[in-house]
Structure 1
Amino acid sequence: MPRMIFVNLPVTDLPRSMAFYEAVGFTNNPQFTNEQAAAMMWSDEIVVMLLRHDFWKTFTSKTIPDAHETAQVLLCLSQDSQGDVDAIVDKAVAAGGKADTTPKQDMGFMYGRSFEDPDGHIWENVWMNMGAVPEGETVAEQALA
């Protein structure tokens, strides 16, 4: 089995969240989907598990934060081009999300925008041209410049 990542997100309305994620390019894996949870595939190795709040609470006793008010993580997806970054943000907005909830980034070699899903989870989207990073500098140094 390849190494995979499963990102688990609490959601208030599972059908709405499934429709949102399908609209931005995820596909549902019905083998791991029921009335409590849905497996939304970004790739064969990256799966977002959407969990109804009651089901989420079976995994942890910690309070589910309101992601519209607080942020614990920024999730990031790589894209193949700047146009793909813009396109996924446009799809998110059309499906009920919010655009550019974090600052836009355009550093020449790196371009990024974000969207928020209906539950407030932030997804950054980035395209990078590693060949355009100035010689002798790291990506981090360029991003902080």
Structure 2
Amino acid sequence: MTKQLWLNLPVKDVKKSKAFFTKLGFQFSTGPGDTETSAALLVGEKNVVVMLFEEPAFKGFANAEIADTSKGCEVLLSIDTESKEEVDTLTQKAIDAGGKSSHKPSAMSGWMYGSLFIDLDGHRWNVLYMDMSKMKN
């Protein structure tokens, strides 16, 4: 049976990506994966690892071309927050750090509130607040 899950994303420049995500308040592992061309981004309370690999290394692992994020979305990474205000704050931090967002934060289904930002390499991050007390069963 599987033991862990981690995601791998191609980036043009690991140092710039680390600086970007650090400005958003994320942390990185200093153990395995912390090299000149890769970084282990830690996400959430369980420290899910999102490995950031510079494009040549990623291309070698994937044995495939890298998706052109300017033409499409290869994955939507969703993360949750503790409040609507934190959704807005994290999205604004992403913009201030050089990311993009043309998505207006909005309520969805009466129990979710979310926004979207695009990181330096075009990866889309869906930032959500979910009020589970309002969720219909």
- Category of TM-score, reference length = shorter chain: 0.7 to 0.9
- CA distance in structure 2 between the partners assigned to 1:5 and 1:98 by the alignment: 27
TM-score by length of 2: 0.87
Aligned with 2:79: secondary structure? strand
**Per-residue deviation, residues 35-71 of structure 1 (Å, max 9, x unmatched):** 1200111234311111001111221221101112211
Stretches of 4+ aligned residues off by more than 2 angstroms: none
Corresponding residue of 1:29: 29
Aligned with 1:18: secondary structure? helix
Corresponding residue of 1:12: 12
**Per-residue deviation, residues 82-135 of structure 1 (Å, max 9, x unmatched):** 00100100110010000244x6431342100010001000000111112123xx
Give the unaligned 5+ runs of structure 1. 139-145
After superposition, the CA RMSD in angstroms is: 1.9
Aligned with 2:66: secondary structure? coil
Equivalent of 2:49 in 47, 50, 53: 47
* Number of aligned residue pairs: 133
Q: Is the 8 A contact 1:28 1:39 kept in 2?
A: yes
- CA distance in structure 1 between the partners assigned to 2:75 and 2:102 by the alignment: 16
Q: Is the 8 A contact 2:88 2:105 kept in 1?
A: no
TM-score by length of 1: 0.83
